[in-house]
Structures are given as structure tokens and as C-alpha cells.
Amino acid sequence: MNSTRSHKAQKVLERMGKKLNRQIVGSFAACVHCGMCTDSCHYVLANPGDPTYAPAYKADKIRKLFKRHFDWTGRVIPWWVNAKSVYTDEELEELKDTVFGKCTNCRRCSINCPMGVDFATFNRMARGLLVSVGIMPEGVAVVSKDQWEIGNQMGVLKEDYIDTLEWLSEELVDEFGDPRAAIPIDKKNADIVYSINPREVKYDPRTISDAAKIFYLAGANWTMPSEGWDMTNFGLFSGDDDLGGAVARRLYEKVEELGGKKLVISECGHGYRSTRCEGQNWAQYDLNFEMESSVTTMLRYIHEGRIKVDKSSNTDPVTFHDSCNNARSCGLTEEPRELLNLVAEEFREMYPNRAENFCCTGGGGAMSMSEYTPRRLKSAKIKADQLAATGAKYVVTSCHNCVDGLSDLIKHYKLGMKVTQLVNLVAEALVVPEKETAVPVEEIPAAAAGPLDGYKILVVDDEPDFVSFASAILEDHGASVVNAFNGNEALEVARRESPDLITLDITMPGKDGKQVFESMRKDPQLKAIPVCIITGQPELRKLIYDRSVPPPNGYIDKPISEESLMRNVRKILEIKQKATK
């Protein structure tokens, strides 16, 4: 039989033997096929009648290999216990579909199994085995590669990261009229080293400046590292312990190099779990500093009176979504609620909650696996119903992955809710002491000052409503705006008008945004014009970033607000200015 087994199948089996530990073997051996866990999985609930989503069914796809090769009954009478081996790459591809595409490793079935079978843990192991032979969804390969090679999972370059921090620092210094409000980079012996998710740099810099405001007003002795700042860890999702260990080690070593006393991890479920818990095991690293979630830090600052908050700044009803990694793998359930009650007037609990909450469906790296998007969105019905039942306007979550997952499902199910994080609400509720209030040198309202005076911006989108909305905002801020409603028109207008910036939709009839973008980047006349992608389909980001041309200069998810559009446009134009100086 061995001679007919593919090289990859052979490797998977060999490596499986090395990965087995007592916990995993126990979980393989203990399942009695009672079916108690079936209804705990959101995939099952959203696909009634389809047993292939049942946790025990999915688990058996991996368990059969264990039984066939490592368990005596399965070795002697395999058919009796459904023990089976794997021979071909096609079979491994099928396994990939299950372990990556039908499970978010949310661990909800694990806490509902009377036998204590921890399926999520051995599902991760199976992912790692497949990854080790190069079988994985493309998105997993891309993100893992970025994290191995560039040091963060979104491929953010060091200069972009530093640029963003400097730009945010300038804004903070302006806002508070105090140079101490700037973000300290690589400060030695700080009490706090603050680590973030690269998504914050790329799509949500407001979370960084909100955190910086909080640290500043709390008078914290803090810093952000210039390298080793990414607290996310794709090793958790891909099951690759080597990647997990390398990423965690990078972060830990940087904190030690800076002599930091505590590593504070910004709001991110898998980042918190990977950095705070699993990373030390993967990296076999014993730490000499403490770590905590920024949620705990913010709460402590309020308790200690270092910052003051006024919940009347957040009057809309809010609910809280527990990230699976925070709640079911790290026990971070009470602090966020306590904090939320301090900064928002109306907190509405969702049910079930805490460790029993349902996955946002974007977990386990699902947001990077675009091939499974329809399946993910279908299973998101369970979460959508949970959210809708609260009647809240905002869903708050302490996880960037969940922000993306929830935003996507809210759009898909037309729930009309907004997603935000605790750091944003805390920053919103901050009471700035008089002495700290900056008196701007020139008090000119942003709009009246026309910060975009003299800039010409091309807005490309096939939705006329969006074009009018974005154009009105840009014109209100002083820009002259030209429009295009499809790809060909966009290229034509861009060549004719030579704008300073192009905002580009990805999905358009005819020549779509991806092709237009590539054409622009390859066109000598247009290639230097900054492009900001604006799309309602965040899962398509990858298609843009994967192109062999320089990446776009900015990225905004629809629906956009005036604030997000202006922040991104200003940032891109400032960067352009610096580059041309």
C-alpha cells in the first residue's frame, strides 16, 4: 500500500506521529459518537440536514487517520472503527476543504462535548500537517508568507508603519497642542510596549491614535516598537507551530531588547491568544515581562483615576460580541463588559454570550480564504440573528478579525449596524482635562480651511449615489472632483485630467477595478498617481494586493463616512507631498 501513497500523503502521516501529544490522543480516542456537540456548531445550525458540517463528522476525517496508523483496533480491523488511511493528494485536498473551509476552530463544540474532546485543537493540528506539505487555501499561503518574510501578516512595510505613526503623532500633537502627545517609538525601559494588529495600520489607524490618546492622557510611560510590533500570529490559524513560534519570538525579543516592563496587546482575539498564551509554548520561550490585553489596561486606568470617561458621549445602544479566542480560550469576558458599561450609556447583552457566544464566522483565518466566502456568509446567519435580536446600533468587539467578519455579515444580512471596538468608545468618552486641552495656533475649522484646496480628485464608482456622496465630501473640503462610472472611462478621465488622487471601486461592469488599477500602474503617465481603493467587498482586497504592480496607496471599506474618507485622503496626499518634496 505504501508504494501507492503520494509523497505528500506519506509526509502527512509521518508528521502526524510527531505532532501527537497526550491531549490530542485523548481527544482522538475518547469520542463516543454521541452527537451531543452537533448543534453547538454554527455551520450545522445554518445548514440543517447536512451532516457533513457536524463537528464529530469533521473530526472523524482526521480521526480515521489516527485510528488507522496509531490506534490498535484501527490497525487490526480498520473497517470496524472506520479507520482509513490517505493515499492521494486529492484526498488531502478534500481534507483541506473540511479543516479550513468547514470549521473556524472556534472551540464551541469542545466546550459542549461531555467527553472533553477538543476538536478545535486537533483540527488545528491537521491544518498544520497540510500546510507542511503545501496544501492550504491560497489566502493562507499569502498571509503566512507575508508574516514569515515581512514580519507582519498584511505585508505592511516598515516605512509605511513608521510613516503612519508619524502622521498620527502629528495629528495628536496638533490636537493636544503638546509634543508629549506624540507616539514614542522604540523608547527604552518604558512601562508599556504597545503591540498592534497590522490591520490597524492599513485600514483602521484611528484605533492606534485612540489608544495613543488614552496612553497620553493617562500619563503612561509607553512606546511602540519599530519592529516586532505585530501581535497577530497566523500560525494559530495555519496550524504552523514554527511560524507561530517565530512570530511570537520576534515580539518577545523586541520587548526584551527595549527593556519594556509590560507588553500590552491591542484588541485582537487571535493576537491576544497567540501572544499571551500559545506563543510561549510554540516558541518555547520563558518571559521576564508581563503581558495584558489593552482592555485590561484601559479598565485599570479608569479604576485608578488616570483617565476620566463620560458615558454620555456614547448614547447609542451597544451590544458586545465575544471573540472566540478571547472568551473560549483566554477567559477574557468580564473586563470588556465592565469597561463597556463605563463608557456607553446603553449596553445590551446578546444571547448566548461569553464562552457560549457564537463565532463571528470570520475566525480561524476564514477572512483570508475567499474560496469559502459563500459558505462563511451562509453560516453567519446564526450570528446575524443574534445581533439583530439585541436591537443595538453598534456591536462592540475586542477583535480585529471579528470587526471584519461582523462587518461583512452585517452588510450581507442588511442589519444596518456598525462595528466598533472598545478603544474607540473609550477614546470617544474621554474627558480631556482643561490643562491638557490644546489651544490651536490657528483656529480654522477643517472644512472652511479647505484642506484639499488645489487638489484634483477622480472618483471612480459605478454607483451614482456613491459618486455624488464622495464628491460632495471632497468638494466641501476644497477639492475639485471629476468622476468616472466605469473602468474605461476612468482611464480616459485619468489621462485627460491628471488628478492628484484616484478613488477606485473594485467591482464595476466592463473593465473592473482590478484591471483598471493594473493598467494605471503600468501606464507611464498614470503610474505615479496615488490610488485609494474603496470597496464594499473587503474579501477582494487580496486580488489587488496580489498583483505584480505596486500596491494601492490606501484602502477604505464601504460604507464610508466623511471622517474615514477624509482621513485616508489627507494621509495619502500628505505622503505624496512628502515624497515629491
Partner 1 sequence: MSHLLHFAEHTLQEVALLIMAIVYTTRLIWLMRFKAGKERQANTGKGDTSSRKGIIYSWANIAMPWAMESSRKKFFLYSQFVIFHLGVVAAIGLSFIIPYAPQLLGSQVLVAVLQVIIGAACLIGAYRIIRRIASNYMRAISSPDDYFSLVLLTVWFFFAFWSVPNNTSGGETILLIYFFMTAFFLIYVPFSKISHYLYYPFTRYYLGKTLGKRGVYPVRRYSEEARS
Beta bridge partners of 502: 458, 531
Distance from C-alpha of 179 to C-alpha of 401, rounded to nearest angstrom = 33
Residue 482 interacting with ligand SF4 (CB under 6 A): no
As given in the structure block, the three cell numbers for residue 506 are 473594485
Residue 117 interacting with ligand SF4 (CB under 6 A): yes
For partner 1, the closer CB: 182 or 291: 291
As given in the structure block, the three cell numbers for residue 158 are 516598515
Residue 531 interacting with ligand SF4 (CB under 6 A): no
Residue 114 interacting with partner 1 (CB under 8 A): yes
Q: Where are the beta strands (DSSP E) in 46-107?
A: none
Q: What's the half-sphere exposure (Cβ side, CA atoms, 13 Å) at 576?
A: 20
Can you list the alpha helix ranges (DSSP code H) found in 177-333? 198-202, 205-217, 234-238, 241-258, 269-272, 279-283, 294-303, 324-330
Residue 167 interacting with ligand SF4 (CB under 6 A): no
The item of partner 1, ligand SF4, none sharing an interface with residue 355, based on CB under 5 to 8 Å by kind, is: partner 1
For ligand SF4, the closer CB: 100 or 252: 100
The item of ligand SF4, partner 1, none sharing an interface with residue 415, based on CB under 5 to 8 Å by kind, is: none
Residue 208 interacting with partner 1 (CB under 8 A): no
For partner 1, the closer CB: 116 or 134: 116
Q: Which of 3, 4, 284, 312 lies at the binding interface for partner 1 (CB under 8 A)? A: 284
| Contact by Cβ (8 Å): 231, 271 | yes
Residue 82 interacting with ligand SF4 (CB under 6 A): no
Residues 15-44, interacting with ligand SF4 (CB under 6 A) = 31-37, 40-41, 43
Neighbours of 382 (CB within 10 A): 19
Give which of 359, 375, 362 is closest to 405, Cα–Cα: 362
Q: Which of 115, 141, 415, 575 lies at the binding interface for ligand SF4 (CB under 6 A)? A: 115
For ligand SF4, the closer CB: 115 or 543: 115
Residue 67 interacting with ligand SF4 (CB under 6 A): no
Dihedral-angle region of residue 478 (phi above 0 means left; psi in -120 to 50 means alpha; beta otherwise): left
Pattern 45-84, partner 1, x by CB under 8 A: ----x-xx-x-xx--x-----------xx-----xxxx--
Burial class (CB in 10 A: 0-12, 13-18, 19+), 413: middle
Sheet with 394-397: strands ordered across: 347-348, 318-321, 394-397, 418-420
Single-letter residue type at 84? K
Residue 56 interacting with ligand SF4 (CB under 6 A): yes
Shortest approach of ligand SF4 to residue 19 CB, angstroms?
18
Pattern 329-368, partner 1, x by CB under 8 A: xxxxxxx-------------x-xxxxxx------------
Sheet with 290-293: strands ordered across: 222-223, 192-195, 262-265, 290-293
Distance from C-alpha of 208 to C-alpha of 165, rounded to nearest angstrom = 8
Cis peptide bond upstream of 559, omega within 30: yes
**Site residues (vs ligand SF4, CB under 6 A):** 31-37, 40-41, 43, 55-56, 58, 103-109, 113-115, 117, 119-120
Binding site for partner 1 (CB under 8 A): 20-27, 29-40, 49, 51-52, 54, 56-57, 60, 72-73, 79-82, 110-118, 276-278, 280-281, 284-286, 290-291, 327-335, 349, 351-356
